Structure 1
Amino acid sequence: MGRAEERRARQRGGHRVASTSSSSSPTTGVEGGGRAAARKAAKGRGGKSAKAGKPKKSGIRRLFTWKKVLGTFFGFCLLGIGAFIVLYIIVPVPDGNAAALAAQQQSNVYKYSDGSVLARFGKVNREIVDLSKVPKDVQHTFVAAENKSFYTDSGIDPRGTARGLYNTLMGRGAQGGSTITQQYVKNYYLSQEQTVTRKLKEMVISLKVDRQNSKDDILAGYLNTSYFGRNAYGIQAAAQAYYRVDAEDLSVEQGAYLAALLQAPSQYDWEVASETGKKLVKARWNYVLDNMVEEDWLKKADRDAMEFEPPEKPKGAAGLEGQKGYLVDLANTQLENQLMKQEGITRSQAEAQVIGKGWTITLNIDKKKQAKLEKAVKEQLTSKLDPKKRPVDKDIQAGAVSVDPKTGEIVALYGGVDYFKHFRSNATRADYQPASTFKPVILAAALEDEAVTQSDEPITPSTIYDGTSKRPVVGSDIAFAPENEDDRDYGDVTVQKAMDDSINSVFAQMGVDVGMDNVLKMGEKLGMDTAELPAVPAQTLGSMGASPLQMAGVYATLDNHGKQVTPTLVKSAEHATSKVEMPDPIGDQVLTPETADTVTSVLTGVVDDGTARKSVRENSARDGRQIAGKTGTSDDNKSAWFTGYTPDLVTSVGLFGEDEKTRAQTKMYGAGGKVRVAGGGFPAQIWAMYTFGVSAKNTKFDLDTDQGAAVKPTKSPTVTQQPTRSPSSNPTTKPPTSSAPPPSSSPASPPPSQTTTTAPPSSPPASSPAPTTSPPAGGGGTSDDPAQPDGDE
């Protein structure tokens, strides 16, 4: 190769040189040298290109390398540890929280809406006892319930505390996880507020207290400062309040109940707990005992032999006699609900903040209306009951709630004959069926959803249905053929007529036509607890539980043209250091005004032409008031209702059969000398006397509708035809004899040409003796019969 060629080869990057060398001597290693020369030349020529071919790191990647991230993490850990060490050094264990302890000695003041005092209540009931006075097995019940590792831990639960801090930062409220030491520190040294600062202090002080104090001292402090409900602070007061014994005489079973009670004292108090509350506290009672077995604190054989022991009834507290106790309890509950929502604390913590802490709580109760309601119950019911003459009379309980539909304020409430005699409030209990007072909810769902019948006709007050008793519903996979009151057949009737006379068969079919899911959703929107109920046709009869408070809210929303009303008792709540803002009782528009007003229009027919006409329409004190309402009488006559309203006032009255000794639901047949206690009887009479004594006279509803009994119909009734789609089974028609067995299925309503025999109601004569244990002939169902044998409806 000449010099010129070598020069050109170098300029080309050595390719010719490499090629020449490689072919010159394949066996002498020159080829390898040529390749090396080529690589060297290529490196000299393309080194920059090779580097340029690699992706460059962005600024963010250069900033956040794994080494830097890991270093930062460890840096924060060291910083956190250092901060905690500093916190541990500078935060002392304080003397007891003097402010909190002083507040515990102050009674709450409850006032009427006009500012006059209703009651003073809440002075703390506390007696300190030495731990040696508490049996060791009873001590173990509390450790088993709250903190099984108490005897071995360092006073804190790191995971639980971390979870609590995180939830506080995220605004999720309290999630539990505190040890007994932490709960004692919170009760005695700190406040119940849910802040990061308070939680950090709680953790530091708990560590120090655990080091400075013995476990027995800590457990004694915990047992003596915890709130057990019934205004009882500490285990000695709780033992007396629930079992009428001293702490040293408590059994393991009793101790397990008191330990279970701490999770939610008011909800788990056996005397006033709902069925759900009783199931929950009993489950926790079992949980406590099972944990004791696991920890070898209790022999399994002894545990298996144990039975739940319900506590004694509460003792009356001075100042809560009559209706006052019911009002105070509901006021406390509503204030606690708001504190739980605002501060993210548990029910137990909220109760500890409210009871006996020096609050001034003003209620929405109108003193004059309250007195009128109490007088109406006495004159129209309790004065007519004679337990000596009729044993069933001692089992009759009344409850009522009256609400201003424009403001949502509870202006009057009746919880029972006397708070000292019947501690559970009948105004707020939700364990009895609302029966036919639920029917307006079905109609509201039909109108709001623009539902149609099985024959695709719109459901309106003028739509005709088949009112035959025991007629199987069509379009449901679940067989259901409800009986009308006294097994009465009505034939072809409009929806308006079906509401007036409370015809079960019509509303059962309507519920299926609308869709039971939609019906239950409507109940939830209106304030009932229907979200978790099974969507079955039987719910159309109002077979769920409901309270007068809930039903007053449902009807107040209708009266308020579809704008949701959540009845509220507490007007304001002020403390020495704070004031709680209560939620607005008036919520969103949950129904269109037309739907709400159409239901109201229909319900005026119940009063003027239906089951409430005698007690309400014909009452001489009516004074020109336009009234809407609905009666209800449950299956087996265990409850009877009238919920009604004028433009300015909504009141729900319920009567409940409750065994005086066992508190079990019982039948009311024969009570007050009546064959059957129905919604158009005592409940409607109480409602009328009260309402006509306190509401504005000559008032009319301002309705945005052209349908229903309150307005003149603008079109002829709509007659439903044969179904245009196949139902779940082949339809047949019931023979014209009410005594014949029901067919397997039938259409939603017969065609206009079909003849249906209407059987007369099978009621006993008015002179029939009043039964005490059995219903009248042909009785049953959950409706109200206008031909009521006792003349009430």
Structure 2
Amino acid sequence: MFSLKNLLKISFIVIFLLSLATFILYLNLRDELPNVNSLKDVQWQTPMQIYSSDGLLISQFGEKKREPIPLEQVPQQLIDALLATEDDRFYLHFGVDPIGMTRAVLGQLMGQNKGGASTITMQVARNFFLTREQTYIRKIREIFLSFHIESLLTKDEILSLYINKIALGHRTFGFAAAAQVYYGKELSELSLAQIAVLAGLPKAPSTLNPIRSPQRAKARRNVVLQRMLVSDYISEEEYLEAKSAPITAKKHGAEIELDAPYVAEMAHQKMLERYGKEQAYTNGYKVYTTVSAKLQTAAQQAVTENLFNYDQRHGYRGAIASLRAKNNEQDQQSDTSIAITPLSSEEIEQTLNSVVSYQNLIPAVVTKVDEQSVEITLKNQQIAQINWPGLSWARAFISDQKQDTPPKTAGEILQYGDVILVVQNPNGDYKLSQLPQASAAMVSISPDNGAIQAAVGGFSFKQSQFNRVTQAKRQVGSNIKPFIYSAALENGYTLASLVNDAPINQWDKSAGIVWRPKNSPETYAGPMRVRLALAQSKNVIAVRLLKSVGLDNIIDHLSAFGFSPDELPRNESLALGSASLTPLEVATGFATFANGGFLIEPYLIDRIENSEGEVVYQANPALACQPCTSEVEPLLEPTKVETNKLKPTQIKEAERVISPQNAFLIADALNSAIWGADWSVADGWQGTGWRARTLNRRDIAGKTGTTNEAKDAWFSGFSKHLVTTSWIGFDDPSRNLGQTVYNNNLGKNQITGKEFGAKSAQPAWIAFMKVALEDQNVEPFEPPAEIVSVRIDKATGKLTTSTNKTSQFEYFKLGTAPTEYVSQDSSSDILDGSGTKQEEELF
């Protein structure tokens, strides 16, 4: 029998040998161990976030969800829960817990699982530098690294690293991100029961998370609560209350505050170009765009509502599906005896959950059909009613050109068991609806510096990620005419020049046919002043102007507005809008008229901040001003500290591409497209954009655009500080926008007839500008220097002394005003489009 002295000797020898073996093992592994000094300056891999100009979150990009927070912002109950569960002697040991390690080793020797004895420090070592493989050599490396970490960092620093680094399931890293994903809350807002659920996740986040395995999560939560109770972190009363709480976790995404997915994707792509995928997704950049919540929301609503209106006036295409069909045998015996098996609540719920809906469309099932109303069941067995005002629009769709007769009863539209889409009106009533088949886009920019104020690339990003604002090159129709007329003003024409509005018959040698461009509508007024021709969008006059100026000169002039000359057709159809441009390109061109002649470059990102809130990029756009002030400070959020501000940036002046006189004359003529080109005509139609008069703003200008066969419809218009382009059409180029006939069930203000820019695209523009301009003062387009105004005769464009309806004032660039007074016979004063007096029709 060993004496105590011998036992001590043997123990000493064993400890010495173990220590020597450990030291030798450390020497062998030392060179393989990672350098833990990097923990002193950890760069957290946090996702990129996109914001509006007023600080609302639009979207978040990055696989890893993490929101690093300092330890002082971590709730004490979470710290207590982690210490009680993961490492109750954390503040006492030196990285390795001897008691826990001994217990784990003895357990292994006895064939019992006593835990892995991993301290919080060891878990930090594993999470930052090692893998989760279950090997002894990994465990030894983990221990050695823990010693290094403890010598380098304080306990609080180690705990902070752990709280922000640990993986907690559903691609969340750190407890702040987990609180958002599982509960949609900040850490400080969690209850004790919810904190305990999160504190139980590090053991096995995939099998214990409360979304995938609520029962296991509950059992693990109760273990955490029990350990907190034993460690005196909580009272018996708190323990019992938290233990009895239900599991309330569910998947939450980033808390999006502004729905602008097309804007988010535009910014996303710009960030990838600037920083590359790895940096953009992990460096925690905050990207502040130029769009505002107010204008973006208004644009989204305008596009959506306009698409619904267009789609519904063309007719109802029927239910998505039918859950019940008529019993054919009984139907043959009697028209009134139809056997229909009642729908079960399970069948309805299952069907509704399977329907994909977009925007504000809500899936529903028809569960009762009355004379002029239907009862519908929504998700969660909610019962609602669609009354006749919400149904009466739904005459059957036959084709884009034709609709069936208006319905008189609900049974002509819907049947029991029909699966449909509905929308809820602001007053709470429901209306039958459907997913629009047409597409649309809207973009609004500042003509002062190119900042994109709003952008909507389609009906729904979920339905189609194709951004029609920047990616859809569509024929622009008459939206091209202001640029043609601008070239004409640079080549001898004035707004008072007369050009013959008469049919053209021109032999095309290359095609072997006669080219006959036509007006729309196909009416001709004879000699017409240029101002009135632009306002009324006369096609043949645009062609005559192009021929007079010359195709090469026209293309050179159009390229000054940012249009690529290589993408402009080199034939006379250019005057009718055969060029294909994106809505953003069109809006950029129109901005030159709004800002007095400068070419601005559209931009979306105002500034970029890093994860520390420091501004690492600030936009410095060229400004439409001449001369400009010498310096300008970039705008930052008022909440940002002064140290975040970038140094004042030297201002950049935008390039002037047309004279201020040319820009003003075209802008004023486009104002006539809305308000009329003849003061003496009170209510007569004088311009294609007259519907915008509902805005009651005299400081707006605009131009409609419709392509051949109405495949595309446009309206582009502006005030002095906002340019907006609206487009509508089908992604399928074989379809045109068609036409509609009067629906007797609807009011007198409905749109009927052939679709074109003023009917199809302009309503969205009007709806948006009504919101966008409501806080802006009226600012008329003021004549610049070297613009004169003289009274002219409306029939000839010559000077006149008459003050009756035959005359009006007109603007001219200095030196271009007429010098002759009108004579009694003015027939020889008509210009034919080549700049010479007309003696006979040339074409």
TM-score by length of 2: 0.45
Higher relative contact order (CA 8 A, sep 6+): 1
- TM-score under structure 1 normalisation? 0.48
